[in-house]
Structures are given as structure tokens and as C-alpha cells.
């Protein structure tokens, strides 16, 4: 390995899993680097939860290798102490209080009672349940239970977090809080792999994305790379009362690939730069042109294809194959 | 092994907080005392002996029903995933649940037995030699009952693992759990020249180990 090359904290090498005749996961190969937030998206039943369960060891009879920090689970029996896992469909023994549940999980994760005296209130504060410690789990709302699931995953300060649909069942404020927590954890070098089918959430927080469909990993990459791949290059959308007559001139600029008038609004055009052109240089050239031609700008947007378009492209390609 | 003790203590705390086990701890001794006050003149029938009969007749049934419904409920709610993602072995979960519940049942049985002795001591109608003989006989009965309950517990656990519906688990455990627990009691009635309580405990232990091994095998195969 060359100097400076990052070692994936999580590695999937040709991992497959069948349930009878059904191929739940086919030859999945990808890696997640330290401190990365990897958004794992796909339709229902695509194989997201199977992937995550294989990673945390809940499913062991699969083919291929899964490595955590370069080690196979068989090489390090305590490897699951490195992982915090928030499962999707999981319950608690409801006779427990929140504190009791966390203390039990903490002890089983190898923490001491002394550690837990400090850590339990701390983690409850992080997830937004500071006063819930003495409450019985059966009296919590579903949103609060979701936060408790996150609390048990964070409890032992794991360097890797695996979150299966972490934002489902949360109200908008809690979603915002949870996304903030995920970003902050990533800044402290915690590696996060989370699954979701809510594309806006993935777009908001993921630094890398994996799209899975019908058990096959359709695409893995940075959001910007995937978006650029779909668009070809960077683009902007400009609204101006006098831009329509200048389309030919804009198109003739050296860094511009195309300029197209909006079909329904003659004051709005979409300008695409040549692929791989430096966006700053393209924008400077465009601005110079606007100033020298006295084009009045009412609105100027960097054109970013939504993750939805990228997602649909790969999922629909897979469906038609 | 540390995980096993954590789970064991945790499960015991769970059972100790459950209404059913609290009802057993209070209810079974209460039945003995209430019976005494309802029918204080019982002739020669001592309460110590009566307590042994109460434990034997309802203990095994309750064990099978409570454990099968608990297990089916917890598997349906997928509570074990949060344990299995930690350094916990599947067999530890099964064994911890079995031992914790057997311990809870033993407490209930001892409380009932003790209440029977106390009632008899207060009444004190029997000569001490006879009373000692009754205690010894009842204690043997208690051990035989615990052997039967042990089989019922193990059977209840396995039924709870195999059946998804809680209602079906309860029905099956009422029939199968109770029937299987009789294995420990029968030799005493039918075999001559054998020490019934020693034989019952042996059979109880052997059957429990076999059923628990089957339970662990089933639990290993479960998808969480």
C-alpha cells in the first residue's frame, strides 16, 4: 500500500447471501474509510438490512469476506466492541427502565459500572432524552424508542456506527438533531454506515453513497461524482429578462458546452459547462460576459441534479436489466 | 463467562419484576395459609404435605406457560438482536433464561413449603418424630416437583422458540410441557426397588439437558 493511501475501516469483498432460492446479496464489494458517512440506499427488499446484519455478525453463513479494521471477525472475537449498531426492527424488553437497559447493554459491551454511571446520562443527553432515565421503556413513544436505540449504539463509544434506517419514525426536529449528531460524530473520526430510503436525508449527510438494487450494488461513489456522472459537467440556471437574445453568444464561450432556453419560461436558461472544466474558471468567464453585455441577473443557481435522479437512473437500469 | 452472569442476573431481575412471578411468590404461600383458615380442621392432613402437592400440581404448568409465552413474545419483538451484536453467545441467552426462571420457581416453591411448615408448627398437632418424617417426605416431594418443573421450563423455552403465535405457544406448553414434566414423577409410582426421588432427579436432569440442548440448537438457527 502506498504512503497516504487510506485503509478502509469496513471492507466488503464479494459478499453474497442467499435465502433459499432468493439472492439477497450478490457479490457486494465496497469499502468505507475512516470518518466517512456512507449512505446506503435502495428500494425496500433490496438487501440493505442483510448487508448491515452481515457486517455486525447477526448473519454469519454468507460467502465472501467482511473485514473490520483489516481483520476478519474470526481473527478478533471482540471485534463487535468496535461497532455500535442501531437495528431497524428491534424491540426492548419493556419491563426495563431506560437506565437499566443501557446499563445492561453497557456491561455486555465490556464497560464497567463506574464508566456507566457517567456515560448513561451523557449518552441520553446526546440523543435528546436527558430526563428519560427512570422511565419504563413501555411508556416511551416510538420516536423516543428510536432515540434509545441510538443511545445503546453510542453507549460504548464505538469507532464504527452501523445505523439501519436511523431517521425513520422521528419528527422533523428529532431528524434534524439526529443528522447533527451523525455529522458531529463523523467529525470526531467515527465511521458511519447508514441505510435509508429517504434520499433527502442521505443527500444531506452522506459523504459517500452506495446504491443497492435487487441484492446488487449498482453504484458506489461520492455524491458529487455520481451527480456529475449523470449530468456530464457542472451547470447553472440563470433567470434574466434580457438573456434570451444572447443564447448563441453564451454557447460560443470557450468553456460552455450548451445553453438552453427554458421551454416554459423565456427568461430562464440552463448553461452547462464542458465536462471536467474548472467550475470557478467557467463562472468567471460567464460573469465577465454578463457584465460586458449588461445582462441583468434576477436569479442564479448552481445546477445540482437531485440524488433522486441519480438513484432512479441506477435503480431503473437494474430493474430493466 | 462474564456475559453469562450479567445475563443471568439481568433475567432474574426481569422475572422478579414480572407480575406473574410476584404472583407466584405471594400467591402460592397464600394458597397454603388461606386453605388453613378456610378449613382449619383437617384431621391428620398436614399443611407441609399440602404445600408440596400445590407446588407439584401447578408449578410445572406455570413454568411451561410463562417461559413459552415470554420466549415467543421476545422473539417476535426481536429483542435478542441487541444482545447478539455484543460479545454474547446464543447459548448463554438460553441458559441464563432457564436458570433465572428455575431460580424464581425454586423461591416460590420454598416459600410455599416454608408457609406449610409454619402453619403446621403453629398448629403443632403432631408429635415431633412424625412431623420430622413429614418434612423429610415433603422435601423429597419438593425435589421431585422441581425436577418436573425443570423439564417443563426447558420444554416451555423450546416451544416458545418454535412457535410464533403466543397463544399457540401457551396451548402447546399446557399440553406438552405438563405431559413432559410427568416423566420425572412417574418412576416413583411404577418402579419398585428404586429410590424415587433420586431416580426422578436423575431423569429430570437428563431430560432437561437434552431439551435445553435442542433449544440451543434451535436458537442458533434463528434469524435475528
B91 and B177 Cβ atoms separated by less than 8 Å: no
Contacts of A100 in chain B (CB under 8 A): 13
Count CA within 13 A, CB hemisphere, residue A295: 26
Measured CA to CA, the distance from residue A300 to residue A297 in angstroms comes to 7
Residue B183: per-residue pLDDT: 75
Contacts of B74 in chain A (CB under 8 A): 91, 93
Q: Quick check: A93 and B224 CB within 8 A?
A: no
Sequential DSSP letters for B135-162: HHHHHHHHHHHHHHHHHHHHHHHHHHHH
Q: How many residues belong to chain A?
A: 321
Interface of B with A (CB under 8 A): 3, 6-7, 10, 13-14, 17-18, 74, 77-79, 81-88, 223-224
Three-state DSSP class for residue A49: helix
Residue A226: per-residue pLDDT: 79
Q: Quick check: B86 and A59 CB within 8 A?
A: no
- β partners of residue A25: A17
The pTM assigned to this predicted structure is: 0.81
Averaged pLDDT, groups of 10, chain A, 321 residues long: 66 92 91 93 90 91 91 80 91 90 94 95 94 93 91 95 90 89 92 89 90 90 78 82 86 87 85 84 91 91 76 74 60
For residue B66, give how far its alpha carbon lies from the nearest alpha carbon of chain A (Å).
Answer: 15
Q: Which of A132-141, A244-253, B141-150, B187-196 has the highest mean pLDDT?
A: A132-141
**A242-246, B192-196, B217-221: which range is least confident on average?**
B192-196
Q: Quick check: B77 and A59 CB within 8 A?
A: no
Cβ-based contacts under 8 A for chains A and B: 60
Top residue of A50, A61, A90, A151 to mutate, by most chain B CBs within 10 Å, is A90
For residues B69 and B198, the model is more confident at B69
Sequential DSSP letters for B87-122: S--HHHHHHHHHHHHHHHHHHHHHHHHHHHHHHHHH
Q: Using one digit for the tens of pLDDT, what is the confidence trace for B36-47? A: 777 655 555 666
Measured CA to CA, the distance from residue A287 to residue A236 in angstroms comes to 12
Contacts of A59 in chain B (CB under 8 A): 223
Residue A132 CA to its chain's centroid (Å): 29
For residues A204 and B135, the model is more confident at A204
* Closest CA relative to residue A253, chosen from A282, A232, A231, A280: A282
B5 → chain A, closest CA residue: A108
Asked whether the CA dihedral A53, A54, A55, A58 is positive or negative, the reply is positive
**A34-38, A294-298, B25-29, B148-152: which range is least confident on average?**
B25-29
Amino acid at each position: 500500500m502506498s504512503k497516504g493511501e487510506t485503509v478502509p475501516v469496513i471492507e466488503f469483498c464479494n459478499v453474497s447471501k442467499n435465502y433459499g432460492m432468493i439472492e439477497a446479496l450478490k457479490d457486494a464489494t465496497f469499502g468505507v474509510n475512516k470518518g466517512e458517512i456512507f449512505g446506503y440506499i435502495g428500494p425496500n427488499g433490496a438487501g440493505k438490512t442483510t448487508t448491515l446484519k452481515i457486517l455486525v455478525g447477526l448473519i454469519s453463513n454468507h460467502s465472501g469476506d467482511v473485514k473490520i479494521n483489516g481483520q476478519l471477525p474470526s481473527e478478533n472475537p471482540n471485534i463487535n466492541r468496535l461497532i455500535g449498531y442501531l437495528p431497524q426492527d428491534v424491540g426492548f424488553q419493556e419491563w426495563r427502565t431506560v437506565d437499566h437497559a443501557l446499563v445492561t447493554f453497557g456491561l455486555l459491551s465490556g464497560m464497567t459500572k463506574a464508566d456507566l454511571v457517567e456515560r448513561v446520562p451523557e449518552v441520553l443527553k446526546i440523543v435528546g432524552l436527558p430526563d428519560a432515565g427512570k422511565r419504563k421503556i413501555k411508556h416511551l413513544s416510538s420516536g423516543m424508542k428510536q432515540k434509545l436505540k441510538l443511545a445503546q449504539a453510542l453507549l460504548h463509544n464505538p469507532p464504527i456506527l452501523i445505523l439501519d434506517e436511523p431517521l425513520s419514525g422521528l419528527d422533523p426536529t428529532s431528524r434534524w438533531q439526529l443528522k447533527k449528531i451523525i455529522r458531529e460524530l463523523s467529525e470526531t473520526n467515527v465511521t458511519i454506515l447508514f441505510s435509508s430510503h429517504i434520499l433527502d436525508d442521505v443527500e444531506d449527510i452522506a459523504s459517500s453513497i452506495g446504491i443497492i438494487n435487487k441484492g446488487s450494488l449498482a453504484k458506489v461513489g461520492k455524491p458529487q461524482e455520481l451527480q456529475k456522472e449523470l449530468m456530464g459537467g457542472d451547470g447553472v440556471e440563470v433567470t434574466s429578462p434580457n438573456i434570451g437574445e444572447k443564447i448563441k453568444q453564451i454557447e460560443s464561450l470557450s468553456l460552455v458546452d450548451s445553453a438552453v432556453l427554458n421551454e416554459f419560461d423565456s427568461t430562464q436558461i440552463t448553461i452547462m459547462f464542458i465536462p471536467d472544466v474548472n467550475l470557478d474558471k467557467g463562472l468567471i468567464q460567464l460573469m465577465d460576459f454578463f457584465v460586458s453585455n449588461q445582462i441583468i441577473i434576477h436569479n442564479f443557481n448552481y445546477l445540482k441534479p437531485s440524488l433522486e435522479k441519480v438513484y432512479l437512473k441506477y435503480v431503473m437500469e437494474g430493474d430493466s436489466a | 463467562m462474564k456475559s453469562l452472569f450479567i445475563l443471568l442476573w439481568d433475567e432474574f431481575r426481569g422475572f422478579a419484576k414480572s407480575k406473574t412471578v410476584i404472583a407466584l411468590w405471594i400467591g402460592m404461600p397464600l394458597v397454603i395459609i388461606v386453605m388453613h383458615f378456610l378449613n382449619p380442621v383437617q384431621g391428620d392432613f398436614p399443611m407441609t404435605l399440602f404445600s408440596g402437592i400445590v407446588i407439584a400440581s401447578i408449578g410445572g404448568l406455570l413454568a411451561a406457560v410463562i417461559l413459552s409465552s415470554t420466549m415467543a413474545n421476545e422473539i417476535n419483538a426481536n429483542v435478542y438482536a441487541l444482545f447478539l451484536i455484543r460479545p454474547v453467545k446464543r447459548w448463554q441467552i438460553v441458559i441464563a433464561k432457564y436458570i433465572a426462571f428455575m431460580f424464581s420457581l425454586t423461591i416460590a416453591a420454598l416459600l410455599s413449603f416454608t408457609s406449610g411448615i409454619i402453619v403446621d408448627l403453629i398448629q403443632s398437632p403432631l408429635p415431633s418424630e412424625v412431623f420430622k418424617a413429614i418434612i423429610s417426605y415433603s422435601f423429597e416431594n419438593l425435589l421431585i416437583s422441581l425436577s418436573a418443573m425443570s423439564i417443563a421450563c426447558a420444554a416451555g423455552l423450546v416451544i416458545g422458540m418454535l412457535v410464533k403465535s403466543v397463544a399457540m405457544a401457551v396451548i402447546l406448553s399446557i399440553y406438552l410441557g405438563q405431559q413432559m414434566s410427568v416423566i420425572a414423577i412417574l418412576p416413583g409410582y411404577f418402579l419398585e426397588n428404586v429410590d424415587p426421588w433420586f431416580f426422578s432427579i436423575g431423569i429430570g436432569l437428563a431430560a432437561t439437558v437434552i431439551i435445553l440442548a435442542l433449544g440451543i440448537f434451535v436458537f442458533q438457527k434463528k434469524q435475528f
